């Protein structure tokens, strides 16, 4: 039953009055009171008709004024403006109240309690326009005083003893109306109080989260500084191990002592592998602490790609892979950090060689123009094991490897791809991946062809914030 009644009431309410619970509750109160109120209000007109020995048009005006309230919900439906119909309601209630008080009882009229109802009603529905409500009240009261002054005295149509019943009906109707509004206002205050408590709870939670975030960021920065220092300290003894092993290898004749030469070779390879891992940790720690800077210079990209291809031959030969180069003739001089570019491409080549067995690794490069700038695209495509959709989600996270079982042959820190992504971002670009499990993978680097040294830091900040608009400049 209540649901049906609410649906009926909501039919009168425009959509813009339903945006918040407070607006909806105020609109529902308006509709309900203006549909039910005239029913009880007409009882006053009926009592006056019976009590007045000379009933005439004054009672008709009062009855029509009371009946007008029942039309306001329909006006609300037509106009969609609660503000407009509320102002009409306040004006009508004040006018009918003063009109009834003028003809029936004056200052002792049973209509007068409705003046207070009219004022409170106006402040309830027009809370953001209190001066307008007071203006309507003052204007109507001035007209009432003017009529009183002009007439000299108020009409004495019904003896006061006969007005007592009308007074009781009027007070009962006013009390009922005020009780309804008071109940709604109490519910509204309770709702706002609960909302304030919820807001306060969320604010406290947000403050705790912010404090925890600050502590985590400080701990992460301290960790990065520690790793950077430790990695730097480890490089010196590792370089010494690699250097002395190379000297011993040069002095060792393969024919006289093959076992010793093989052992020295393992020491040298292990030292270089460990040095590369330490270098990755150092580089990513420096990036996290903003200590890694770009050394912008002009260099030949085709020459760099040839050098990378030559360096990668050893890695590719381990798994009997074939290298295919595809460099666009339009690719020429690039203005960026040659060392960082070389490191990023080598990381991808190493990754492709590691997860491809007796396959083909293709290194391609091309230039293109987009958004008013020249860009370089370098792709490393392999025919290896590919990457599953689940692993793609965490591919560029620190210390994450795509599959531990498949990575036994080339154990690493899991920093290669994460470092490559950040190096590309540092150079103002980004990296993307296209792969399917069992069908190989293709890593694509896109970076600006020219990166002025003064803009290097700005390029890095922009790429961190918006991931270069999804490499915004994908051709």
Q: Using 50, 70 and 90 to split pLDDT, how confident is the model at 281?
A: low
For CATH 1.10.287, list the domain ranges present in the chain: 220-288
- Look at residue 412 in the predicted model and tell me its pLDDT: 52
Half-sphere exposure for 432 (CA within 13 Å, toward CB): 16
| CA separation for the pair 457, 127 (Å, rounded) | 53
DSSP class of residue 407 equals: G
Q: Residue range 394-416: average pLDDT?
A: 56
pLDDT of residue 187: 66
Q: Lowest mean pLDDT: which of 10-14, 112-116, 129-133, 312-316? A: 112-116
User: What is the per-residue DSSP string for 22-51?
Assistant: HHHHHHHHHHHHHHHHHHHHHHHHHHHHHH
Is the pLDDT at 414 greater than 70? The verdict is no
The DSSP letter of residue 402 is S
Residue 375 above 70 pLDDT? Answer: yes
Alpha-helical regions (H) of 289-326:
301-318
pLDDT digits (tens, 9 = 90+) for 44-64: 788 778 777 777 788 888 889
What's the CA gap between 227 and 239, in Å, rounded? 18
Q: How far apart are CA 397 and CA 415, in angstroms?
A: 8
At 400 the pLDDT is 54
- Determine the Cα–Cα distance for residues 108 and 126; give it in Å rounded to an integer: 29
pTM to 2 decimal places: 0.45
Mean pLDDT within 95-118? 79
pLDDT at 378: 93
Quick: pLDDT tens for 147-161: 777 777 777 666 666
Q: Can you read off the two tokens belonging to residue 328? A: 């666009």
* Mean pLDDT (the chain, rounded): 78
Higher-scoring residue by pLDDT: 182, 24: 24
Residues 362, 366, 368: CA angle, nearest 5 degrees: 150
CATH architecture for segment(s) 297-471? 2-Layer Sandwich (3.30)
Token digits of residue 38: 């005239």
* pLDDT band at residue 469 under the 50/70/90 scheme: very low
Residues in a beta bridge with 83: none
pLDDT tens track for 13-22 = 888 777 777 7
pLDDT digits (tens, 9 = 90+) for 330-346: 898 999 988 888 888 98
What pLDDT is attached to residue 150?
78
Q: Are 414 and 351 in contact (CB under 8 A)?
A: no
Pairwise CA distance, residues 59 & 44, whole Å: 10
Do residues 163 and 105 make contact, with C-beta atoms less than 8 angstroms apart? yes
- Per-residue pLDDT of 188-204, as tens digits, reads 667 667 767 778 888 88
Give dist(CA 248, CA 250) in Å, integer: 5
**220-224, 324-328, 335-339: range with lowest mean pLDDT:** 220-224
The confidence band for 473, taking pLDDT boundaries of 50, 70 and 90, is very low
Residue 408 pLDDT class (50, 70, 90 cuts): very low
253 DSSP assignment: -
Report percent pLDDT > 70 for the chain: 79
Tokens read off for 35: 């549909």
For residues 25-29, give the mean pLDDT.
Answer: 81
1.10.287, 1.10.357, 1.10.10, 1.10.3470: which CATH number matches 220-288? 1.10.287
* Residue 61 CB partners (closer than 8 Å, separation 6+): 99
Which residues belong to CATH 3.30.565.10 in the chain?
297-471
């Amino acid at each position: 039953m209540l649901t049906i009644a609410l649906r009926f009431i909501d039919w009168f309410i425009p959509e813009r009055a339903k945006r918040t619970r407070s607006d909806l509750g105020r609109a529902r109160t308006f509709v309900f009171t203006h549909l039910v109120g005239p029913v009880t209000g007409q009882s006053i007109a009926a009592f006056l008709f019976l009590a007045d020995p000379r009933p005439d048009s004054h009672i008709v005006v009062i009855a029509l004024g009371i009946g007008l309230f029942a039309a306001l919900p329909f006006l609300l439906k037509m106009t969609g403006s609660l503000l407009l119909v509320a102002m009409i309601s306040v004006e009508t209630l004040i006018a009918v109240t003063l009109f009834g008080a003028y003809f029936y009882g004056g200052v002792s009229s049973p209509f007068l309690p409705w003046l207070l109802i009219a004022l409170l009603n106006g402040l309830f529905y027009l809370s953001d326009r209190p001066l307008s409500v007071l203006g309507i009240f003052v204007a109507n009261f001035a007209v009432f005083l003017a009529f009183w002054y002009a007439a000299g005295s108020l009409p004495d149509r019904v003896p006061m003893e006969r007005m007592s019943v009308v007074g009781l009906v009027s007070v009962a109707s006013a009390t009922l109306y005020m009780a309804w509004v008071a109940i709604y206002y109490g519910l509204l205050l309770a709702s706002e109080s609960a909302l304030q408590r919820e807001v306060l709870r969320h604010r406290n939670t947000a403050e705790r989260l912010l404090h925890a975030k600050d502590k985590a960021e400080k701990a992460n920065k301290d960790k990065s500084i520690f790793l950077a220092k430790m990695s730097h300290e480890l490089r010196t003894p590792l370089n010494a191990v690699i250097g002395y092993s190379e000297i011993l290898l040069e002095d060792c004749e393969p024919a006289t002592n093959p076992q010793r030469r093989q052992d020295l070779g393992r020491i040298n390879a292990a030292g270089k592998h460990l040095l590369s891992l330490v270098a990755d940790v150092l580089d990513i720690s420096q990036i996290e602490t903003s200590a890694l800077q770009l050394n912008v210079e002009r260099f030949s990209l085709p020459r760099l790609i040839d050098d990378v291809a030559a360096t990668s031959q050893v890695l590719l030969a381990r798994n009997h892979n074939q290298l295919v180069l595809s460099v666009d003739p339009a690719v020429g001089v690039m203005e960026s950090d040659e060392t960082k570019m070389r490191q990023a491409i080598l990381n991808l080549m190493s990754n492709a060689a590691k997860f491809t067995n007796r396959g083909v690794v293709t290194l391609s490069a091309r230039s293109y123009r987009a958004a008013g700038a020249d860009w370089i695209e370098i792709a490393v495509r392999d025919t290896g094991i590919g990457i599953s959709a689940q692993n793609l989600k965490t591919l560029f996270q620190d210390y994450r490897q795509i599959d531990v079982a498949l990575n036994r042959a080339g154990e690493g820190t899991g920093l290669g791809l994460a470092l490559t992504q950040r190096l590309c971002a540092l150079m103002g670009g980004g990296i993307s991946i296209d792969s399917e499990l069992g069908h190989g993978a293709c890593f694509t680097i896109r970076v600006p062809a020219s990166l002025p040294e003064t803009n290097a830091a700005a390029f890095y900040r922009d790429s961190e914030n918006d991931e270069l608009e999804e490499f915004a400049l994908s051709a």
